[in-house]
Structure 1
């Protein structure tokens, strides 16, 4: 309940002057934001004060808690789920389809995964958009529907409801128009408030850095990871973060239906090595910190087994049926070795782009690839834009691969008659070919673990 003795202007002045707000003051401010007791200009002023003066840990934890409690929270979960309610969050990257594989694999290990995910905006794709490339799948679900799916299947991947963390919605809308988005404390609070509202036992964070990440600078990404781990643990959620390299695209596919197809391959144990490795590393950490594996290595072994014995693919099938997909089409889609393009939308044309040099693949620019895919129609430049689920890019090479002039290095899946010249030119410049192999080839994208 708000404290009538606290005045909003006084709180703004305190923060403007570099003061540290108390939990009571923060709770009052957030409560009034949701109740309409804070004018937009006052909210903008407070956010700017927070942006310029920063947020101490003793502010970010109560701020995130107040945001989390500003609306509905999921649960209460059944007692028998204790210690098994887990989730993962990624800060976004090119070709990032980890959630589509990890959620069903964790469910196959007996976990409950109430994954509240997001849409793509900008150069990175959204998990919800990828799921919607499967005909009939709905990413809208009430609290009761989520609990039903978790009971029957073990995982769901849905969008944020209107009543979940409404304070974050109001604050983010103002951050977006006041130049206060890029503040580590506010970003961390926004992310963790939504995950904490899921009433999780454990959370793993995939914090990406590099050319294809939302947060390019590794130092800033590390600062964000540390802040989110501090907040998560401060709210009683066992939280661990993995720092992962996003300089090259994840896997081979960029684009919605293309990434579903690649995810299904991985769910059957046939995915690209870098993709499977990241799934296992994130999931292994999650099973360990939640107490469902004695070590991260044991957690990885458990997850790997679900990818080889068909259990993870079965959970994915059950999940999409529970979320509205036709059962016969879902079964046909998820059978190992099936022709997924009988079910998924496919582009009218597939055109290769050929290497202009001979040598070894030294790097592939993630950001350039993502922006080309976006221009083909695979993503949104505005929230109202319609997505073409079929289009995207398919990499034909790996880092370190030997390549000859004239070899295909990438295939463009497009619906326009010809690839626009500017896209072709940009893709020609997206691959770095050198005379000698790279001095080091990453065996894993995971650079560090923060707990």
Structure 2
């Protein structure tokens, strides 16, 4: 005889549909019952829509996060004997910050266990970028993970399927039911995985603007506040920076192109915005790790961060000195008039890189390591008629037409320079 369930999914849906709050016991049961298949996708779809429309109280979001953590295994880095700190970005166009950031922070003796994901749609995935390096492996065992953290200090790898499996199931459902943007579900999804990873401290890069997951600044602030509170409630020291993603970050969009640019930053150069955000996040991470006065810019300029990068890549089978893939075909778009570049919308450029082969429409799709865009001018730059504005890269020239379609009307040349961009607009702790 089967066991009697303590709650009924329909009753819980009615509570949330009516704007009520679920108890800890109800949320624990709901997540467990959904993970084991007792609560059906159709019922959980109704619940996620009720949450999307009516929100959740702070205690409910905390309970949902903890229940998703409890659905699987957790990790602990206490045995490493050195501080651990992780970083999570909500994603954007040209966001390659993890690549220079992890080795930079680890060059100060801090362990950086960066469990990352792959790109879907217009946002690139850190693992896809690193896989453009010959030999580099995203999947490593837990034993190897700990070895590298002890020896090299930084690991960027795929998260194991045992961490928060309820989140993986719920995330796939949200993607097909129009509830991806629900802040309680975004916050609990991100934080359940990050807390389960076992890092002692976490810095969040929460983006807003046309190329971001959430475009509205105030909604991004709310998401940042919610996630910082969740981290603190779980005993993870957490801070967040709210950053502008209205234009692409850096001068490149696409896997191998972004790796090349990340190395330029580690060599003490690179675009000003990529360096600036890398430094800002590194300072936050090192402050949480007990080094608030660390001179992170010196570590970029004197080669320490680059040495750390080489160790990090080599430890996962990659060859940091090997040539990166180069696209077989390019197409240059030039300025039609002289003036200042006043606008460069992030989302269309991200979509164009995706259409060139840098991204995927489905999780199982392959990506083209060499595909993407190279931006020769950024908003505020003076341009002259006929000057290259950006170059499209792909191995398949048949992709150029749809990529050019995506960026049509997404940049503008004017007679006056735009106001300088403020990259980091808020900090929450």
The equivalent residue for 2:392 is 412
Secondary structure in 2 matching 1:146: helix
Between the aligned partners of 2:51 and 2:405, the Cα distance in structure 1 is: 43
Aligned position for 2:415: 435
Q: Assess, with a 3 A threshold, how the Cα gap between structure 1 residues 259 and 161 changes in structure 2: closer, same or farther.
A: same
With normalisation by structure 1, the TM-score equals: 0.90
Deviations 1:379-436 (A, max 9, x none): 1122222211112111111322111111111122232347734534554633211112
What's the CA shift for 1:447? Answer: 0.7
The answer (yes or no) to whether the contact 1:238–1:290 under 8 Å persists in 2 is no
Q: Does 1:445 align with 2:423?
A: yes
Answer yes or no: is the 8 Å Cα contact 2:256–2:324 preserved in 1. yes
Deviation at 1:220, TM superposition (A): 1.6
Contact 1:12–1:46 (CA<8 Å) still a contact in 2? yes
Of 249-258 and 227-236, deviating more is 227-236
Against the structure 1 CA distance between its residues 145 and 33, is the aligned structure 2 distance closer, same or farther, given a 3 Å change threshold?
farther
TM-score, structure 2 length as denominator? 0.94
Structure 1 window deviating more from structure 2 (178-187 vs 248-257): it is 178-187
Alignment pair present for 1:63 and 2:64: yes
Partner of 2:196: 197
**How many Å separate the matches in 2 of 1:148 and 1:15?**
46
Does the Cα contact within 8 Å between 2:331 and 2:400 map onto a contact in 1? no
Number of residue pairs matched?
427
Q: Deviations over 1:254-304 (max 9, x none)?
A: 1100000000010111111110100111111122233322xxxx24x2x22
State whether structure 2 residue 73 is matched by structure 1 residue 72.
yes
SS at match of 2:78: coil
Which runs of 5 or more structure 2 residues have no equivalent in the other structure?
A: none
Distance in 2 (alpha carbons) for counterparts of 1:236 and 1:98: 26
Contact between 1:355 and 1:428, CA under 8 Å: does it hold in 2? Answer: no
Q: 1:387 aligns with which of 347, 358, 367?
A: 367
1:244-323 superposed matches below 5 A: 244-293=243-292, 298-299=293-294, 301=295, 303-323=296-316
Q: Which consecutive residues of structure 1, in runs of 5 or more, have no partner in the other structure?
A: 334-342
1:127 aligns with 2:121: no
| Residue of structure 1 equivalent to 2:44 | 43
> Is contact 1:128-1:158 (8 Å) kept?
yes
Within the alignment, does 1:215 sit opposite 2:214 as a pair? yes
Map 1:355-370; keep pairs closer than 5 Å: 355-370=335-350
In the TM superposition, residue 72 of structure 1 has moved relative to its aligned partner by: 1.3
Q: CA deviation at 1:124?
A: 1.0
> Could you tell me which residue of structure 2 aligns to residue 176 of structure 1?
175
